Structures are given as structure tokens and as C-alpha cells.
Structure 1
Amino acid sequence: MRYFGAIFLTLFVTGVATANTAQPNSEQTVVLISIDGFRHDYIELHGAPNIAKIAQQGIRAEGLIPVYPSKTFPNHLSIVTGQYPSNHGIVDNNFYDTERKQHYKMGDGVQDSTWLTTLPIWNLAEFQGVKAATFFWPESEARINGRTASYYYKYSTPTPNRQRIDQIVQWLKLPKAARPRLVTGYFSVVDTMGHRFGPEAPQVGKAVQHVDQLIGELWQRLQTEVDEPVNLILVSDHGMSQIKAEAMIDYSAFNIDEQLFEVVNGATRLMIYAHESTTTEQINVLKQRLQAAKNGQYWLETEAQLAQLGVTETARKPAIILGTKAPAIFTSRPPEKRKDGGTHGYHSNRDMDGIFIAAGPAIKAKAPLQRFSNIHIYPFMAQLLGLELLSPIDGDAKVLAPLLKQD
């Protein structure tokens, strides 16, 4: 665990968010837990009674809509920044930047935080005198805007899940001057089993029940061991769809000229970046060839569709994006090495929906809540913590503001 004292930093911002944050009724604490790959229906499908009970005491959305693409790193950053990936910088788990002429892979922000162009919720809190702690969250180790949360752990997959619960409770029992009022936690096991076996497999059920037991324990300990009022928010970055080996698309058969293009396979989408010397005519020729060969297996994303999904012109936007739907993915593996399983990253649909559950002293119980985009969680947390928004965001505080109790 690392600890960093206060760092004085001047923030230069180009605008302000359109929605003002509301002051909470009293000083509140927020614990934000992400269960990676926990689909919106897993509570019933696999049996998660503790999470269901927490939802009954608070609120549960019909689903949490991921940003495009519905991948782990873009969505975790959107949840804690209120921005679309084009704005926070992490546009996929792996991508290429045509200006930097560099590839990004998951976690590269730890060594080079310039990959991120954003203000995560733990920095927003720290800049306003509210201590924050992160027990894992994608890119939470990165020194964004010159600092990290006051407390954080370097990501390590083997770290026991129970240790995460114990540490969260220990942080919340610190003396007031040292205690964080924002804590994040992260569990990956449900996503791992979903990829390996598919969303309806019994192995996924066991993972769901394991995390459910831990969340139940955390909720109980927040009530009995922590003196301060704590609001628990449970989210997931995306859901999961079944994939089939027989439906996989061999993109090596496209014979894309590597002298002209950089290709990054995102499984559910193929990203084709033009090199600096590649002409518009050469891009159009490739588009026409791919269009003619698609045979119902994939499609070429249009500019209009990408704009609707929040994709804007940056050096990380591919010249051509091929999209597909479950049970297909793009692959270069030979047929004998392809396996059925599960994945995510597709356009928004019910299989891609995650969960949003919130309960605590500042949350209205049993309020009806339709599915909504995860970009609205950031201003909601800022309201709970009494923080002012310091930079432009895509989320809107008005979406979840009705969930807060008023004086």
C-alpha cells in the first residue's frame, strides 16, 4: 500500500460541467465496488441473495448501460470520470495512437499517465480535501494530474478477495483525519469465469456466489464496525455474451497491407488505423473491399453511428472499424485452437448491461430506476460527497439526483 500526502496542484480546465453538484445532508462516505463482468441478470440466474437483499434495502437499476466499446478499461474509466472514452483517453483495452505512434495495452497508464486525459473521482475528492482509497480499479495506480488517491494498492490478480474486504473496513475505521470518504474496490473472478466458460456456466455461478458472500459480509461489517454513514454502490463494467468457435471470423484472410495500416484486434471489433503516409484513396479502396467481402459476418461502422456512441475525432479513432455481434468475434487463431466461451465489447444490448445497486443513509429506498448509461454515476458520487465538478463531463447529475434523500 502507498500513502501520499496532500499535493497542491492548479487545475487548468477548458469549461465547467453543465449540472451543479448538490450538497449532501451530512458528511457522507461512498464505497464503490465493481464486480467485473457481472451481467444485469446474474443475481437471479446464478443466485446472489446478499446482493439482492442490499438492492431491496436501496435501489437497483434495470441495467447499467456500458459505453462503447463495452470493454473493461474504457468502462471503468467512464464510471469514475463521467466521460466517454474519446474524452478520458482509454478508448479500448488495447488500441493504437496515430500521433504517438504507440500501442496502449491495459494498465500502461501506470508507467505513463499521459495516456489518460481526465479527472477521476478519487482525484476530484483529493483536490477538495477529501481523502480517497482504491483497492484496485483500472488505472487507479496512475499518477493522473500529478497524484493518486491517498491510499492505493498495486494491482495483483492473486490478491485474496477477502483481503480486499478487510482492507476496506480497516480504512473506514481509521481516525477521522486519516480516514477516506471515498473507497473503490474491484473483483475480477466473475468476468474471468464468464470468458472461460460462457455466461450461463455453473463455474460462473460459483464465482457469483463467492463474490455475493463477500459483498454480504462487507455490507454487514459496514453496519456493525464502522461508525460513519456509508453508502455502498455496486456496479459492473459490462455483461457477457456466449461466443462460439464455429462463428469466429479469421481476419487474417482480409490480407490488410501492414505497410499502409496498423491493425488491432479487439475481438468484438477490428480496428484498422491508417499510417501517416496512407492516402484517403487507399483507405477507401480497403473499405470497398471489406464491404464487398462481409457476407453478413460483420459491418463497417459508419461515422453517424460512431458519433451517436460518443466517438469523436482523436488520434485514437481508427480509420476503419469492423463490428460484429455474438456469437462471433474476430480472431487469427487456427480453427483447432478456437474455443466456445464468453466475451463482451459488443454494441449495447441486454447481454452487455451490467448492474447498478446503491444503498445507504443518503439513498432513497425502493426508488424505481430504469437502465441508464454509466457516465451518470460520476456526478452522482460527487453529489453524495459534496464535491464540485472541476472539469467538463458527458454525464448529467440530473439523471440520478432523484435517488438522493433531501432535507
Structure 2
Amino acid sequence: MYSMPVYRILTIMLCRVTFLFSFIIGLDYKLTFVNASKLIILLVDGFRWDYIESYHDLQLRGFSRLVDKGARAEWMVPAFPTNSLPNYKSLETGLYVESHGVVGNFIYDSKHGDKLEYMLSDDAKWWTEKPSFFVTAEKQGIRTGLYNMGGCYLEFDGINVSYCWPYHDSSSFKDSQNEVLDAVRRIHSGKIEIAYILHADVDTIGHSFGPGSPQLKQAVKDTDELISSVFQYLDTNHVTDVNIMVVSDHGMASVNDTNIIDISHVVDMNDIDELLESGSVAQIWPKPGREMKVYKSLKDFHEHLRVYNRKDILDRWFFKQHKFIPPIFIMADSDWCIVHPRSGDHKGTRTIHTFNGNHGFDNSGQDMRGIFLASGPDFKQGYKTSGISIVDVYQLICHVTGINPMPNNGTWARVEHMLRDHHLEL
């Protein structure tokens, strides 16, 4: 049975006294009790929504405990494009991509001529247009620790996070184990209240070997061990005021290496100012006066290639109204791969058509769905809800940690029923 911590009881008593006082003096007063549990967020890059059931033979102890003792969504719909950096930021802000500005794993600022190439930039401008939850938390006196996160050592809007374990693009499972152990120890010792950890192995293995591969199966098992190690530490040390969330940024689709869309056959690079990304999507900035020429050359080139002028990008993607979105945006159908003369030229990339799995495709596809599971003092036990959006998770993060949230695109009605009914509303 759930036992409410003493600090919660005292807070409720204070709320009731405050309410009574306001009633006596005649104020029109409304008060919402704010939870203040600690939180560990494990962001598992590329973990598809159906991996847990697909690998039930592994007897996944960590995931099973999350399912049995916590709450979960049947699936989570990522923001578009279904790539990592846009969805990290949507998770952290509760905003769609056109609202937060991290429009891809690679971003081009055509006004100033500079680029973000994945997480390998020391320019804070790419990360600070809209504040992530950890920035808002630090401003409100809630200490945060970021693990394996790009730019976590940077100053965000005049502040630094309380702890930063810098991003490593070749981190191992052992690194993830060390990060998780360090995070839970810092949570327990009171050095931080929120730990935000990126575990990238599932995505890396999914790209290299594909969903359904023996290597991916092992990566799922390794992730389960990370989750189990958190529970083991909390149990051993009798820690009861910590929630754990396990969430992914997107899923993964199998890619046939013969399904290649080589746009170099129709695009003259002399007409191009900048061409970023490849595989599932590509962003194109034609030279002045060449936009229509480039668009027409691509429009009917391949039956599995979707070509959009910026104004025609689908409204349901919420990927149109931002200065960093390119004049021409192209996307392959799932199981197809876009290549061009600059594929793999950028820092942190490799030749995309060597992948056996990929993401970035339309977020309406089932293979792009991610996961959301949570357990702890603020979440119901054994509760399952229907699909949610990644922008909904921000509100849960803020609610259970006591962060006063920023305006966001999340829908509270989709997630509130996962919470226990021990918060107070007057």
C-alpha cells in the first residue's frame, strides 16, 4: 500500500490552513497542491513501442516492474521529423518542432550561414530558443543532473545545470551503467532532484543491425539491466520518494539496402546553397532564384520520394512555421533511403545507406512510435492508457517534481489519469 511521505502530509496541512485563512479574510482563493518527488528520466534512444512484448522471452525484470508497479502508455507518438534532437527538445519543452526550433539533427541558419551538426556544437543558440525543463527547474531552485547530453556544460539563459556528464558519441553500455549509478547516488544523497540520462545503444544497434536482429535483442536486455539496477539501488537503500520514467524519442524501421533514392541524378549541386541530412529526410536550401528549378527536378523523380515546398509541408506535422525549416524538404517512404553527393559528409555521421534500420519517417507510422513507462510514488500501479504524444510528457515531468511549467503543446487530459490521486486541489 502506498504510504504518503511526511513532507507531503505537512504540505497538505499547510495548504488547508492557508485555504482556511483565505476563506476567513474573504479572498477568492484557489490553490493546487504541487508534488515534489525526485525524478530519474532514462531516455532510451530508438526504443520502439513493441520491443518489450517482442522480447518477452528475455524475462525483462526491469520493464516488468515498470509495467506491474507503474503506469504506461500503449505507445508514444514522436514529433516530426522523427529524429533524435527534435524529439529530445519536444520531450524537454512540451513543444512541437516548429515552436522550439530544433528542426533536425542538423540545422542550418541561412541568415548567418552557420550549422548545427548533431550534438557537436558549443554554440548555445541552438539549444536556448525555448527553455528545457532543466533550465526552468534550476531557475526555480530544483537541481538537475544531465548525463550524456550534448551541450550540458553550456550556460543556458544565464545559468548552468547543477551537474553535467558530457555527451560521448561512442559511449558504451558500461558508460551507461556508470552514468545511471552516478545519477541514482546523486539523487539519493540530495545533490540533485532530477537526473536526465541518455542511453543511445538501442538506437545505434538498431541502425547497424536492424530491428529484430540478435544484436538488438541484446541491446534491449542491456537496457532492462539499467532499469533493474535503479530499482535495486532504491530498494536496497529504502528510497521511496523517487519516480523513474523510461521514455524513447522515436522507434525504428527496417531498411532494405537496395531501396535507394539517389537524388544526385536530378539535382545540380551548383544550384544548391546547403543540403543537410540524408536517409529518411533531407533539407535543401537552393541558391537565390533556383528554388523552382530544384523543386521541379525532384517533384516527380521517384514514386517513394515526398517533395515539399515549405508552404506545402503537412500541417499535422507542426513543422512549417520556423526560420530554420528549409525552403525544400524531402522525405522517403518507410523502407527507402535518400542519398546525395554530400551523404555522410557531416560530423557525427556515416554513409546512411549502410544502415539496416532507420527513423525520421512520417510520425503516423507505427514503426516510429516510442515508449513511455513510469513508476514511483506519484504513479498508479499496473495502469495502462492509450497512446500519448511526446509533447505530453513535459507536463508529467513538471508535475511530479514541482516545476512551474512553461506554456506548451501538451494535452493534460491524455496523461493525468496515470497519476495517483494524492495531489490536492482546492
Return the TM-score normalized by structure 1: 0.86
- In the alignment, the residues of structure 1 paired with residue 353 and residue 84 of structure 2 have an alpha-carbon distance, to the nearest angstrom, of 22
Offset at residue 155 of structure 1 (A): 1.4
1:153 is paired with a residue whose SS is: strand
- Check if 1:317 corresponds to 2:332: no
Q: How does 1:5-404 map to 2 (within 5 A)?
A: 23-25=33-35, 27-46=36-55, 47=58, 48-109=60-121, 111-116=122-127, 117-156=129-168, 157-158=170-171, 160-174=175-189, 176=190, 179-225=191-237, 227-275=239-287, 278-279=288-289, 282-294=290-302, 296-301=303-308, 303=311, 305-332=313-340, 338-339=353-354, 341-348=356-363, 349-389=365-405, 391-404=406-419
- Contact 1:274–1:318 at 8 Å: present in 2 too? no
- In the alignment, the residues of structure 1 paired with residue 285 and residue 229 of structure 2 have an alpha-carbon distance, to the nearest angstrom, of 47
Offset at residue 326 of structure 1 (A): 2.1
How has the CA–CA distance of structure 1 residues 130 and 337 changed in structure 2, closer, same or farther, with 3 Å as cutoff? Answer: closer
1:48-102 per-residue CA deviation (whole Å, 9 max, x = no partner) reads 3421221121112111111011111111111111112222221110121211211
How has the CA–CA distance of structure 1 residues 139 and 370 changed in structure 2, closer, same or farther, with 3 Å as cutoff? Answer: farther
Greater alpha carbon shift after TM alignment, 350-359 vs 154-163: 154-163
- In the alignment, the residues of structure 1 paired with residue 138 and residue 84 of structure 2 have an alpha-carbon distance, to the nearest angstrom, of 25
Offset at residue 201 of structure 1 (A): 0.4
Q: Which amino acid aligns with 2:34?
A: P
- In the alignment, the residues of structure 2 paired with residue 314 and residue 305 of structure 1 have an alpha-carbon distance, to the nearest angstrom, of 12
1:361-406 per-residue CA deviation (whole Å, 9 max, x = no partner) reads 11112333111110111111111112212x4322233431222222
- Contact 1:64–1:373 at 8 Å: present in 2 too? yes
1:245 is paired with a residue whose SS is: coil
Offset at residue 21 of structure 1 (A): 11
1:173 is paired with a residue whose SS is: helix
Offset at residue 259 of structure 1 (A): 4.2
- In the alignment, the residues of structure 2 paired with residue 21 and residue 260 of structure 1 have an alpha-carbon distance, to the nearest angstrom, of 56
Offset at residue 138 of structure 1 (A): 4.2
Offset at residue 108 of structure 1 (A): 4.2
Q: Which amino acid aligns with 2:33?
A: Q
- In the alignment, the residues of structure 2 paired with residue 22 and residue 101 of structure 1 have an alpha-carbon distance, to the nearest angstrom, of 47
Considering only CA atoms, is the larger Rg found in Structure 1 or Structure 2?
Answer: 2
1:4 — aligned with what? none
RMSD after superposition? 2.3
Q: Which amino acid aligns with 2:161?
A: A
- In the alignment, the residues of structure 2 paired with residue 267 and residue 316 of structure 1 have an alpha-carbon distance, to the nearest angstrom, of 20
Offset at residue 283 of structure 1 (A): 1.8
1:14-36 per-residue CA deviation (whole Å, 9 max, x = no partner) reads xxxxxx995335x3111100111
- In the alignment, the residues of structure 2 paired with residue 298 and residue 352 of structure 1 have an alpha-carbon distance, to the nearest angstrom, of 18
4+ residue segments displaced more than 6 Å: none
Offset at residue 270 of structure 1 (A): 1.9
1:16 — aligned with what? none
Unaligned runs of 5+ in 2: 1-29, 344-350
Q: Which has the higher contact order (CA 8 A, sep 6+)?
A: 1
- In the alignment, the residues of structure 2 paired with residue 59 and residue 83 of structure 1 have an alpha-carbon distance, to the nearest angstrom, of 23
2:421 — aligned with what? 406
Offset at residue 245 of structure 1 (A): 1.4
1:165-193 per-residue CA deviation (whole Å, 9 max, x = no partner) reads 2201210222x4xx311111121111111
- Contact 2:267–2:298 at 8 Å: present in 1 too? no
- In the alignment, the residues of structure 1 paired with residue 44 and residue 97 of structure 2 have an alpha-carbon distance, to the nearest angstrom, of 20
2:14 — aligned with what? none
- In the alignment, the residues of structure 2 paired with residue 291 and residue 173 of structure 1 have an alpha-carbon distance, to the nearest angstrom, of 56
Q: Which amino acid aligns with 2:123?
A: D
Offset at residue 150 of structure 1 (A): 0.4
1:207 is paired with a residue whose SS is: helix
- In the alignment, the residues of structure 2 paired with residue 196 and residue 394 of structure 1 have an alpha-carbon distance, to the nearest angstrom, of 34
Greater alpha carbon shift after TM alignment, 194-203 vs 158-167: 158-167
